[in-house]
Structure 1
Amino acid sequence: MTQALSSIAQERGISYFLISFTDLFGVQRSKLVPAQSIDTMSANGAGFAGFAAWLDMTPADPDILAIPDSNSLFQLPWQPDVAWMPADLYGVDGNPIAQTPRLVLKKVLAQAEEQGYQVCTGVECEYFLLNADGSDLSDGRDRQSKPCYDQQALMRRYDVIREICDGMLTLGWGPYQNDHEDANGQFEMNWTFDTALVTADRQAFFKYMVKSIAEKHGLRATFMPKPFQHLTGNGCHMHLSVWDRDRATNLFLEAEGELGLSSMAYHFIGGVLKSGTALCAFTNPTINSYRRINAPVTTSGATWSPNTLSYSGNNRTHTIRIPEAGRFELRLADGSANPYLLPAAVIAAGLDGLEHKQDPGPRRDNNAYTDPLPAGTVEALPNSLFEALARLENNPILPERMGQDFVASYLKLQRQAWNDFSRQITSWELETTLDC
């Protein structure tokens, strides 16, 4: 029998619960519920006006109900009298809201489970620490052209990094390393992989935790893909493997296979590459995302982001890297990727690859930055969100597996964002064309 949340609250000293959902643009929406009311809210859901979030709804639509998942409860390490729970959205009629990112992921994972698969993922979340108003980096001494792994810059932010890592330790995530990344003021923190839904919930909470602890220290954290033109952008590299139903056997692992991967793993990779340009609508979902991929060289000497749909061994210049036996790393996604839609889209593409035994083509071992392949050898990545959305619209695979209604809503809202961006008159335009 599941323990009542009010009882858990009493045992752990929890006074309030954040019932939270993530909308289509990755914005977290919440209601703060006192512990004495949490059992009712847990059973019946917290009411929201759907139009108030990015869900493709109107003011005339009925309320939506956020049903929290009590199996994914995170007591805030920096404020332990509050607990956070991700929620799934339903209509007052009891039907699921198709445009709920967490439900889209569950839908795709159910397809994997029907075939006897359990998908595991891990993410590497990069972020910048800025000053309080977000106008510049928080550390004026962090100026090296190659600052990656810089010990001094890392330890100058020890208080922030330690508090975040201590939080993950308290939550039992198994964090195992923290480092200063390739850009000045940029950091990455890694924790142990798990099933895709568990990782997605943790990623959503991680972004909230990092921002909150940074604010506590008088700083601002951002996962924006490319906040500085001359610096490496924020990636969100995802590692993926497929296991059997009981998670006893890694089906991607084959000792005699090329680079330790099974034929099944290569079919999955083939599916990801086949839908790769359409995937960009989810892996790189903002206007700013396309400042990071296909970008010119940064001050460090490399962008560390891909520019072609290709896979390789332990080579970080391609979209997919195979760092060791039994898994692959997708290097395409950035920090703005929705924690639920990112794995949902990649898994949907991979499952199609499994179903059709998709051939990924030959492995590419060139340095894609300095030794590009001849034109037409591999497919290029989209140059803009507009192009990625067009590729998604013409892709039959992702809508079928993620949901036609969901994809239609996603395309509609993203095109509205693109049109809003396109109406802006930038300072660059004024500077270069005002005297025409």
Structure 2
Amino acid sequence: MRDALYKWVKEFDYESTPIERMDLIELSKAVKEVELVDELESDNVSFVRILWVNISGQHRCRAIPRKHFYDVVKKNGIGLAFVSIVMTSVLDRPAPGSGLGLVGDARVAPDLSTIRTIPWCKQDEMVLGDLNVKPGQAWEYCPREAFRRVTKILKDEFDLVVNAGFEIEFFLLKSTMREGKEEWIQFDSSPYGCSSAFDVASPILREVTYALHSMGIPVEQLHVETGKGQFELVLGHTICTKAADNLVYTREAVRAIARKHGLLATFIPKYTLDDVGSGCHVHLSLWQNGQNVFMSSDESSKYGISTLGKEFMAGILHHLPSILPFVAPLPISYDRLNPTTWGSYLLWGNENRNAPLRTCSPGIPGGLVSNFEFKPFDGTANPYLGLAATIAAGIDGLRRHLSLPEPIDIDPNLDNLQRLPKSLSESLEALHKTDFFDEFIGQKLLTIIEAIGKAEIDQYSKNKDAYKQLIHRY
């Protein structure tokens, strides 16, 4: 119809037809506007967004016109300045001592197995990127490559894969003006599990769930969390490499759809110091030939966990202080990990939510356990590095046949327990004292992680309120 209308306007005989010329001019303008919309929706001007997550856990993006992407970038990737990977959480500048700066380029290569149509912007696509030295050659600083290396070691040595499922907590914030300045305040003040708060947020949550399902990301449940304006979204478990990709896309979906509705979604571990924090708890299990081998094969196991499962968990518990810089990478992360909440002492428990590691047996009879929850993970962590460090620690437990201590299933006597690092400084010190991660993560990447952590400490020590700006970055 639009083509016929435009043809009629172009061919109309203005001189011999008794009609107002101005009306036809306006009609012609309207048709041209429709044509412009058509052009904007065409393949030539739609985009493919290449996403990557830098070391400080921030999502970064380049948008490539679709034709150029499929003609050139699909094969060759795009250039990326070294500095882009070592920017800190607050400042878009390199961390001192990282070894990378303003000189040098890597390549972001699209992983075409991850390409998806963007549900909230259907004319565009997005794809996750790997960091390469040149096309086809992985860069030693690439978080996804480090993660793949760790999972390959687990598979090659023990014929095991890890399945993971994330529980993602976030705040929804709304904008208000106070004394001429924009502030972001809580979307709602309802208590935990409140159905009326869910009703208010349901247009957003429904659209998020639709978007995730359309990308093949299963959502198991959603609910109102304890904080004011806080929600939790539970993803289905899958092989850990795909689970990390799903987490990145889920954060993208939540943030974009909240913005569409005039709100801001943030995953930072502490939005305000006087309210609860947000975690990104992950449930982990071991699989072999399609079978869950974290779970004991019968009821004879003392804890309902297989020997493999106990050794894997023991490795994570043993290395937990040095894992924290990977999963709780900001100073504000440690305001969440304190004794008034949970996860601040070195222990594990059966269904003990006060423990950084707790075993779970959802609906399984006979005391058998299907997975364990790892709670220190938060929304500022690079998911690839966080999972890589956690699984590497589990591999060490398997290699050394580490023993899992007795669980603590009551309110513990804290005087008898080892306190986990109280700050990023303490966790970086624990990481620096161990050479365990060299094999798995690589010394150069570890140097960057430590350098960024020290830069974060320095920046926040100079500005105690700097964390308040993180709502726009995580």
The TM-score bracket by the shorter chain reads 0.7 to 0.9
SS in 2 for 1:345: helix
Query: What residue number does 1:58 align with?
Result: 101
Relative to structure 2, which stretch is displaced further, 52-61 or 267-276? Answer: 52-61
Distance 1:35 1:251, change over 3 A: same
Matches within 5 A, 1:4-403: 15-39=46-70, 40-54=72-86, 56=98, 57-61=100-104, 63-92=105-134, 95-115=137-157, 116-132=159-175, 135-139=184-188, 142-143=189-190, 147-244=191-288, 246=289, 248-254=290-296, 255-256=298-299, 257-296=301-340, 303=341, 305-324=342-361, 325-367=369-411, 372-375=412-415, 377-403=416-442
CA drift at 1:227: 1.1
- Offset, 1:374: 5.0
Separation in 2, partners of 1:38, 1:243: 37
The answer as to whether partners of 1:251 and 1:262 remain within 8 angstroms in 2 is: yes
Shift of 1:106: 1.0
- Percent identity over the alignment? 28
Aligned CA RMSD, in angstroms, stands at 2.1
Q: Shift in Å at residue 14 of structure 1?
A: 9.8
Distance 2:437 2:85 in 1: 23
Structure 2: state its 5+ residue gaps: 1-40, 88-97, 176-181, 362-368, 467-474
Q: Is the 8 A contact 1:19 1:46 kept in 2?
A: no
Distance 1:230 1:73, change over 3 A: same
Match in the other structure for 2:33:
none
Deviations 1:59-103 (A, max 9, x none): 122x11111111112221111111111111111386422222111
Task: Quote how far apart the aligned CAs of 1:13 are.
Answer: 11
Residue by residue over 1:127-163, the C-alpha shift from the partner in whole angstroms, topping out at 9 and shown as x without a partner, is: 0001135521022xx25xxx11111111111111111
Q: Which runs of 4+ in 1 moved over 6 A?
A: 10-14
Q: Partners of 1:14 and 1:395 in 2: how far apart?
A: 50
Quick check: 1:14–1:81 contact (8 Å CA) kept in 2?
no
1:421/1:81 CA distance change after superposition, 3 Å: same
What SS does the corresponding residue of 2:265 show, helix, strand or coil? Answer: strand
Q: C-alpha distance in 2, partners of 1:295/1:166?
A: 37
Instruction: Please give the secondary structure, in 1, of the residue aligned with 2:232.
Output: strand
Contact 2:43–2:66 under 8 Å retained in 1 = no
Matched residues in 2 for 1:425 and 1:151: separation? Answer: 36
Stretch deviating more after TM superposition (321-330 or 30-39): 30-39
Given that 1:259 and 1:322 are in contact with CA atoms closer than 8 Å, whether structure 2 keeps it comes out as: no
Q: Distance in 1 between matches of 2:257 and 2:351?
A: 34
Shift of 1:230: 2.4
- Three-state SS of the structure 1 residue aligned to 2:383 is coil
- Residue 421 of structure 1: how far off its partner (Å): 2.0
TM-score (norm 2): 0.80
Note closer, same or farther for the CA distance 1:360–1:13 as it changes in structure 2 (3 Å cut). Answer: farther
Cα pair distance change 1:185/1:94, threshold 3 Å: same
Using the size of structure 1 for normalisation, the TM-score is 0.87
Report the equivalent of 1:299: none
Q: 1:136 to 1:260 in 2, by over 3 A?
A: same
Partner of 1:431: none
Aligned residue pairs, count? 398
Distance apart, 1:186 and its partner CA: 0.4
Residue type at the aligned position of 1:36: K
Q: Distance in 2 between matches of 1:355 and 1:77?
A: 44
Cα 1:425–1:164 shift into 2, 3 Å: closer
